Structure 1
């Protein structure tokens, strides 16, 4: 199984060369040594097309860009197709709509979101929409202006959601596939100072779980028929006796929808929480060190048996075995050296 690795290449954030690739053995949990497939600046987040023929990467720069690549399904090798300006600084997340016809991007420093039509050959057209968020929240250092951090469709494809760390909102849109425009915004305000960063859905789409970068929490939401969000349960991602600095990064729901995982940077750990299918309540199961520094991203393999943690500041990817019955994680000792890893994408 191939694993694509996004990384930082700029000196202030990392020292990789571009997008890497490795093979992961789901029978043993072993990662092969990684190689660089192509050089591109700050490919900090990746998304592949449903058929695996194309890979898309943000270029998280002051003059933000997104780049399309043709992908060899046998080797994971990449060939650059084209790039487009994202219309804002420091794009940090991207995803495809369910039709595969549009790429959705957020510009963290630009405070806006962008939609790009995708041609049949995988190339990107100029943005069909660049949409600015407005507002601020209570943290003067991090929330003086909008900072959208993630954009992704709901599991059924009816809605598109954006978490905005700067204004403490999760915004629900509809994507008009005739015009390539995000329309009908409905904002849900979070707890002030949460700084919602990423989110994940239960497989049935009835529950969303968001992670707060600024307040180190996981929050579950009930999702209604119109995509509206009602907060249900909040838990801390940290031990009660931890008093150091921490910022949360990524969140994932297990394939069976029973467990949620979130990453802590500072405490350098993964929190595992049980998600009750009926009440949608969260209950922390354990908090496990990642064995490295700054786990900005992590991924469950498609089987749900393994969790791979990308430790950005220690240049490692650590493999954990996951017990599907208890949700608990156990370090396997399989650790791959990889420069400044910040995004892990399984690619078949």
Structure 2
């Protein structure tokens, strides 16, 4: 939130698909409506963004073969570059997160995870420390090698978890306090051919939900922060109907409500927003609702800071759609949408 009291949304999009880069939109507090007020077209293909609220710096991947990250001072509608983009030492970074004074990226193309130092002002320094994943899976088209898709610190700040679509596994890593390098402390194998894409923690910090891209399911895991142990417990379907003409259902992003009552997933192909109830317990998600996502190929799903609304970035239809969430039963109801060509992700100030 800026000094004038307004809130802002930052929307990443694929410039190679006609997107504007990073679009800045004003958020109407009453309706949740987004009004674009400007955009920056560099770096290329900023498909994932992360905002460090402590420093007010917005970070963006450049999902290209050369693989870079960029930093911006985010002051309301104004994005001011902090230096030039920095190479991550891997190709096609698809996700990034901040862990202390390090910026972490998951590099899908090269199957690696990178750690880069951050300057005092939030700018990015180099060179990157790179951890290479190894392995493959049974799908010859999608799993010919490792494809790191997400890198995320756990709530305790002691560990970093990385999902790998190509090797059907989640790696638990430690971040070296001296040089910022990542070291694998354990690797958990999941169902062969399932293609884990993204994960989300329950607010209690003791349960992890791993959403799979190649199968429309979520794996429920117990998480022990003290030891860094991840234990798969069960698999739950999220939406197996697929799309028109039998299009493959490809889940993208999970999101857990701040009150811990619901787990949601965006499902591409089916173009659906799936809701699972957690009221039977965090380890027992139960599918309860499936709604249209408001567009085509929902790549990202995020709640606004109030938790009263959900926003979906629909890549192929080129829009961001928002939903009002019923406070009692969690059912999402479409509120509206705004055109954002090749939309890929949304973050809020």
Compute the TM-score of the two structures, normalised by the length of structure 1. Answer: 0.93
Match of 1:171 in 2: 171
Structure 2 unmatched runs, 5+: 1-6
Match of 2:51 in 1: 48
Conservation of the 8 A alpha-carbon contact between 1:95 and 1:103: yes
Which stretch shows the higher mean deviation, 21-30 or 130-139? 21-30
Which consecutive aligned stretches of 4+ in structure 1 deviate over 6 angstroms post-superposition? none
Aligned residue pairs, count: 340
SS at match of 2:127: coil
Confirm whether residue 75 of structure 1 aligns to residue 81 of structure 2: no
For 2:282 and 2:344, the matched residues in 1 are separated by: 33
**Which of these residues, 73, 96, 99, is aligned with residue 98 of structure 2?**
96
CA 30–279 in structure 1, closer or farther in 2 if over 3 Å, else same? closer
For 1:67 and 1:222, the matched residues in 2 are separated by: 34
What is the CA distance between 1:80 and its match in structure 2?
Answer: 4.3
Match of 1:112 in 2: 112
**Structure 1, residues 103-151: CA drift from partner, whole Å, max 9, x if none?**
0001101111100000102221113411101111111111110000000
Match of 1:265 in 2: 268
What is the CA distance between 1:159 and its match in structure 2?
Answer: 0.7
Match of 2:158 in 1: 158
Match of 2:4 in 1: none
Confirm whether residue 191 of structure 1 aligns to residue 160 of structure 2: no
CA 267–255 in structure 1, closer or farther in 2 if over 3 Å, else same? same
Match of 1:8 in 2: 14
SS at match of 1:139: coil
Aligned pairs (5 A) from 1:8-47: 8-10=14-16, 14-47=17-50
CA 184–239 in structure 1, closer or farther in 2 if over 3 Å, else same? closer
Match of 1:87 in 2: 89
Match of 1:232 in 2: 233
Match of 1:60 in 2: 63
What is the CA distance between 1:191 and its match in structure 2?
Answer: 0.8
Aligned pairs (5 A) from 1:195-206: 195-206=195-206
Which stretch shows the higher mean deviation, 119-128 or 252-261? 119-128
What is the CA distance between 1:52 and its match in structure 2?
Answer: 4.7
Which stretch shows the higher mean deviation, 281-290 or 217-226? 217-226
For 1:268 and 1:34, the matched residues in 2 are separated by: 28
For 1:217 and 1:146, the matched residues in 2 are separated by: 20
Confirm whether residue 284 of structure 1 aligns to residue 248 of structure 2: no
What is the CA distance between 1:219 and its match in structure 2?
Answer: 1.6
Q: Cα RMSD over matched residues? A: 1.6
Aligned pairs (5 A) from 1:299-318: 299-318=302-321
Conservation of the 8 A alpha-carbon contact between 2:67 and 2:88: yes
SS at match of 2:265: strand
CA 222–26 in structure 1, closer or farther in 2 if over 3 Å, else same? farther
**Which of these residues, 332, 339, 344, is aligned with residue 346 of structure 2?**
344
What is the CA distance between 1:75 and its match in structure 2?
Answer: 2.3
For 1:206 and 1:212, the matched residues in 2 are separated by: 20
CA 297–217 in structure 1, closer or farther in 2 if over 3 Å, else same? same
For 1:115 and 1:80, the matched residues in 2 are separated by: 18
What is the CA distance between 1:240 and its match in structure 2?
Answer: 5.4
